[in-house]
Chain A
Amino acid sequence: MYEVNYHRAGSLEEALKLLKDADDGKLISGGQTLIPAMKTRLAAPSDLVDLRHIAELRGISVSGRTVTIGAGTTHAEVASNADIEKICPALCHLANLIGDPHVRHMGTIGGSLANNDPAADYPAAMLAMSATILTNAREIVAEDFFTGLFETALEEDEIITAVRFDAPAKAGYAKFPNPASRYAMTGVFVVQDGGAVRAAVTGAGDDGVFRSAEVEEALAKDFSPAALDGINVPADALMTDIHASAAYRAGLIVAMAKRAVVMANG
């Protein structure tokens, strides 16, 4: 790891100032993506601004069906939150599938969303539930937030403060984890709410998380796993890498969507 200057911010305001004053500063929350990247010198910021001690970024509040999760909330905290479990168990299930217990004790939802790894789990949930990402400056809907591989709508000096969504009537998530890294080789989050059906896919798209029109169309007619039998998900915009071909991932999308629907239907 290259040399770096560490700063611990006590408030959002202080974090913004520290970031502005730094040469090539980077925010750090759980560090579960950034520290490994710095160790391998894939990232080499001049300064780190630690958000982990900012109280206003932490915590979960549930009011009616509206859920607000502070950016600094860990995966373990989301996974074990009783209020979310009551109205949106699929999200707790998803959080519990991220990495391993030790990663979940440090890693945060804000860090995961800002990083927008094409194989990360949370982006699928945010897109499928039409969540809103709150920052120090504005509110961004998930559709506009994820803009490509490791790319988001965030400006250089913008800090995610929280995410907010209304828990849908039904939701489910299934992931086929990469056997080595446990990141999603394909993960599908499905939602049914009123008449609307949404299905977001992570781990498979060439350009990051996306909604599958084919899965949504089939499930809109009949929200059951059988409705997905024999549907054709095109492989053109899917990823091919050492782990799986695009065609294999197209198959995984259908298989994972079926499992997600089973979970959503409870």
Chain B
Amino acid sequence: MTEVSMSVNGRKTSGAVEDRTLLSHFLRETLGLTGTHVGCDTSQCGACTIHMDGRSVKSCSILAVQADGSEILTIEGLAEGDTLHPVQAAFKEHHGLQCGFCTPGMIMAATDMIRRHPDGLTEATVREELEGNICRCTGYHNIVKAILAAAEAMGDGRARAA
């Protein structure tokens, strides 16, 4: 077992893991942060998307030991108390989810996407950027709508997307 420590949603955390433990597994099983979902074995679905050191990554394709010393943000770290993050609020408002399985990954992908496009997003860009996130329910239209609306709403407040 190896001792790893990282900042997760702003709090220092640590735990003992096998070197082969995936970061997604560490977050879910050791830290109990089950908002990060695991939807595939092939690194393709994006349900496990989180931010590591400020960038979106697939936590199912990273070992917990690789993430030792890093800063992790998961879906649980987005809202401020009872106030939803603007991307979360937009998903709610625009019906960007049905079963909700892909939603944590979609939202983590969306906040990263908005951060990387400070000049705003177009529908085509959003669709391209969602390449790594698969949804089996919504048909994507409302997800795209929600992300565009959130990007718009965040306007100058974009710093929050990080």
A residues contacting B by CB (< 8 A) are 1-6, 8, 28, 31-32, 35-36, 38-40, 48, 50, 52, 76, 99-103, 105-106, 180-182
Contacts and interface: CB of A to CB of B under 8 A. Distances in A.
Contact of A52 (B22, B46, B49, B66): B66
Contacts of A2: 20
Given A35-B63, A36-B42, A102 B57 contact: yes
Given A35-B62, A36-B42, 10 more contacts: A4-B20, A8-B65, A8-B68, A32-B61, A39-B41, A48-B19, A48-B63, A100-B46, A101-B129, A102-B49
B22 to A, nearest CB: 8
Contacts, number: 77
Nearest to B48: A102
Interface of B: 2, 18-20, 22, 41-44, 46, 49, 55-58, 60-63, 65-66, 68, 109, 112-113, 116, 129, 131-133
A180 B61 CA distance: 18
A5 B46 CA distance: 27
Contacts of B41: 39-40
Interface residues of A, dominant DSSP: mixed
A106 B62 CA distance: 9
B66 A31 contact: yes
Nearest to B116: A101
Contacts of B113: 101
16 contacts: A2-B20, A6-B19, A8-B68, A31-B62, A31-B63, A36-B42, A38-B20, A39-B41, A48-B19, A48-B63, A50-B66, A100-B129, A100-B133, A101-B129, A102-B46, A102-B49
Contacts of A39: 22, 41, 60
Contact of B43 (A50, A76, A103): A103
